[in-house]
Chain A
């Protein structure tokens, strides 16, 4: 057993804090009947629950990627243990085969040979230009290179059967839970007739689809590069898995930065009116009229200089990339609070005229207490809707910013950097399409799931809908 040293990155702290906050929030909701009722409506929405299942899978990958450590280097016994410069995560450890089995350069999905010709010395024939065999992809086939389709198909079938069995077990547990204390089989029937309060059938269908795709994919990825390899021969599937965390952090931490500002300023402007309102309105009108990308570019470049001139702050490259990611979240947060702020100001203007607020004022309740007790809880539905809606927008924003080169650190894998690399790949001949296609598909699924979930949340929380 190799020793290791736990590394806690700033973004790890934030992501686990967010998880803790989420759990705490859930406990609070369970004690607050109106909120609980709204979340029950989300739970009853089929689309909402199916997309939540997909989102959970993404979040699980992101969480696994947020436990970092430095493995110990092998050294002589008796010597002080030294740790590698490279920072790994639990996900890296689980996906060690994907991470380590690098090829020389591009190779197509399920290929057994490289995508580019090379000059190879063949004994007896001298230097020959040919597509060399991959070091890892399809190695087990040896000479039977033309049987890739049959081999992959058979493996996928076996994995599919396993996935189906797993799913049956989960479905059995679910129907057992639903029909507890009733005749056997009723739980199952109630799930499929959609008679359960929670949309179990949607969750199970989404889970079935996910298992049927994911299990064969990962099984095959042990023998092939299922999404191909990139320019330096790294497996694209591995890059996709690593990108998930970046996307989640951008989507979640940014809202965390923007939320206090938007809520505080929005409520203050709406409740106190007068000069506070004027000042806050001018602030966000000014901020809104500066081109967002320009502002972000300026801030990111400035921060880049600061980071580059203080190398002593960081002991590993991962820490530097991490700080840059957080700074990006911060900058995105500072530029994107205006929309929610405006919304909350308007709603507060409406609420402060309501009679229960006036009744509280007539009792001489202090302004801050009125805001905390009467206004904030009645704004929560807007905040929740905005949070979920903003998430997908921010994931997309990261892709755009990395594409123009002002996004995350170039050493950090993200959907944006993958798409940025694809710019060159699409320009070469023959075209390398798989990197872009895989990044596109993964991001599409993540954002679509987030959007559908946001819709379900909005329907459940919006009193006007």
Chain B
């Protein structure tokens, strides 16, 4: 075993108290092995990585335990010696490629720094090595790229550079802290492939920190599940995905949205992760566990070996009966009868002018949305899917007239919204509301929950009298599953999931017929995401609200959507009923996108369709079909002409030359 972490305890100073963020975890990683640390936010994964590298923040303390690599104890080394280890024998890559490179140094300088420090390489030898490294991480034309600055690279390219820097010191251990969380699925697939290839070539050990079961399934050899600062289950990949043993792990799997769970309630984990200051004495999961026994609350469970699993749990039952007991029941009928379109969008364009020079003349346009048409039926869910930068969010805002559309028409129940102003626009907005991505930014921290929810009612004049308004707010809160006392509390007293519920209540306050949900669960953990998805489904069946669900998460789409529209560079390339698009995608982009999604199962997608490069800039889209530079089936006609939309079935429309010829 190369890296051995033994009973490591890490904590933070808070005033005069020390709060243990990581409480006695032990694991080891062998050469050439990928060990994945899996857990929800705040469970101590990143702190563990920082502890191993001895890069804890100022308030962080090592409280006990040992970390040894090849027999040498890292925690007792002097700081000067430790610097030779960091970047030399162990290296780290971070979540956000945009902030982990220094913007004022060229890429060459940043790689050269590592080479000089750890290998003593300078001059021509170093340049040669840098070129080799950039080639290894798959950056084309490395001679030119070496002298470029980080801003000239795209997100995925920056992460490749980051990996090249990490590899420059020829590390034996690579710590990857959520390396693909900030990237799109197609780019994520590229980076994961690259990591796997490099590991095979060099025999590196990788400590992969992630919250994504799909990434774990694709990358890990062994998996450790963390909960509230402790490891609760360690197993090999096969054993882990074959049959998870710990109730927490089982609950995580059951909370995942999926095609097979359509129309059913998702299992949720009640309650929240206990705070650092109030850790229970017994099992830390006891409060939320479906199999809790009296002994769980008194005694912290010891490690127990069960068929290639190591589990910390008192409960010895089988996972199988838990499945039966916790199985979901139907909550919505998926076959909603199609009526008249509630919202009809035709040829919508949103162009942002690019201004340059002294006189701020317009020199071009960012075509964020470029001729988009879609329709939403009452009581149904349309998922608008696409990678970052394709204009999904702009569509949502343009529909609400928060951004004035440049061209096109938006018909809401027969009424034209584009160009509406003042009182008539306000009246129209009653029928359409928005739920935002980040529940921490979407609620004003200085207002009470009651005031936040009542704001829409006030502005649109829904309820006038003060007393009836308070009753109305309380009714809304109970509808989204929050107690009435919440009215007089402030948003910071609530967790992320509860805040998102408040945001839903605020939108529902004006009784809209359509909710535009802009990635409403992407900032939430899996178990909380399940709660919000259940809530949205419940509201749809009770109130008959239609959803426009803007997302990049296919698992959510599979679970929730009736119809799907796939967007690429401001245009819709394929739309149709969910079953059609997901089971028989016809556009090459949809096919690639679906195949790149990592599945949280043992039998991964058979063949991932590799897309080269990344989404081009909407300021300067490629000629002809926007997708042709990345398309594996590109033909001559694709370069010259944008394809017409073709009806494949009565409901599925695809814009691709492959289908029109």
Contact = CB atoms under 8 A, between A and B. Distances in A.
A377 B436 contact: no
Interface of B: 397, 400, 402, 425-426, 429, 433-434, 436-438, 441-447, 452, 455-456, 458-460, 490, 492, 503, 506-507, 510
Given A33-B490, A34-B490, A363 B444 contact: no
Contact of B438 (A355, A365, A377): A355
A100 interface: no
B510 A363 contact: yes
A364 B455 CA distance: 10
A33 B510 CA distance: 28
A360 B458 CA distance: 11
A354, A355, A360 — which one has the most chain B CB atoms within 10 A of its CB? Answer: A355
A378 interface: yes
Contacts of A119: none
A356 B459 contact: no
Interface in A351-371: 354-356, 358-366, 369
A41 to B, nearest CB: 12
A151 B364 CA distance: 87
A362 B400 contact: yes
A363 B437 contact: no
A378 B445 contact: yes
Contacts of A361: 402
Given A32-B446, A378-B444, A365 B490 contact: no
B446 A355 contact: no
Interface in A28-58: 32-34
Interface string A333-362: 000000000000000000000111011111
Contacts of B433: 362-363
A365 B445 contact: no
A362 B507 CA distance: 10
Given A355-B437, A361-B402, A363-B433, 10 more contacts: A34-B445, A34-B492, A356-B444, A358-B402, A363-B459, A364-B425, A364-B429, A365-B458, A365-B459, A378-B446
A366 B455 CA distance: 11
A356 B456 CA distance: 12
A355 B437 CA distance: 8
A358 B434 contact: yes
B597 to A, nearest CB: 27
A440 B308 CA distance: 78
A369 B400 CA distance: 19
Given A373-B447, A378-B446, A363 B438 contact: no
A364 B402 CA distance: 10
A190 interface: no
Contact of A363 (B397, B429, B442, B445): B429
B459 A358 contact: no
Contacts of B426: 364
Contacts of A136: none
A356 B443 contact: yes
8 contacts: A355-B436, A358-B402, A362-B402, A362-B433, A364-B460, A366-B459, A377-B446, A378-B444
Contacts of A359: 434, 436, 442, 503, 506-507
B455 A355 contact: no
B425, B437, B446 — which one has the most chain A CB atoms within 10 A of its CB? Answer: B446
A358 B401 CA distance: 11
A85 B437 CA distance: 70
A374 interface: yes
A354, A362, A365 — which one has the most chain B CB atoms within 10 A of its CB? Answer: A362
A378 B441 CA distance: 12
A262 B253 CA distance: 54
B443 A363 contact: no
A365 B461 CA distance: 11
A232 B429 CA distance: 76
A278 to B, nearest CB: 9
Nearest to B442: A355
A358 B397 contact: yes
Contacts of A354: 441-442
A378 B447 CA distance: 10
B434, B437, B459, B506 — which one has the most chain A CB atoms within 10 A of its CB? Answer: B459
B357 to A, nearest CB: 15
Contacts of B510: 363
A276 to B, nearest CB: 15
B447 to A, nearest CB: 7
A362 B510 CA distance: 11
Contacts of B441: 354-356
Contacts of B436: 355, 358-359
Given A34-B490, A355-B436, A355-B437, A360 B455 contact: yes
B37 to A, nearest CB: 30
Interface in A366-422: 366, 369, 373-374, 377-378
Contact of A374 (B397, B425, B434, B444): B444
Contacts of A373: 444, 447, 455
Contacts of A34: 445-446, 490, 492
Contacts of A363: 429, 433, 455-456, 459-460, 510
Contact of B434 (A362, A369, A378): A362
Nearest to B456: A363
A34 B489 CA distance: 11
B560 to A, nearest CB: 21
A354 B400 CA distance: 16
The 6 closest A-B pairs by CB, nearest first: A364-B426, A355-B442, A355-B436, A377-B446, A363-B456, A363-B459
Contacts of B397: 358
Contacts of A378: 444-446
B1 to A, nearest CB: 42
A363 B429 CA distance: 7
A39 to B, nearest CB: 15
Contacts of A32: 446
B163 to A, nearest CB: 30
A360 B447 CA distance: 13
B352 to A, nearest CB: 13
B444 to A, nearest CB: 5
A368 to B, nearest CB: 12
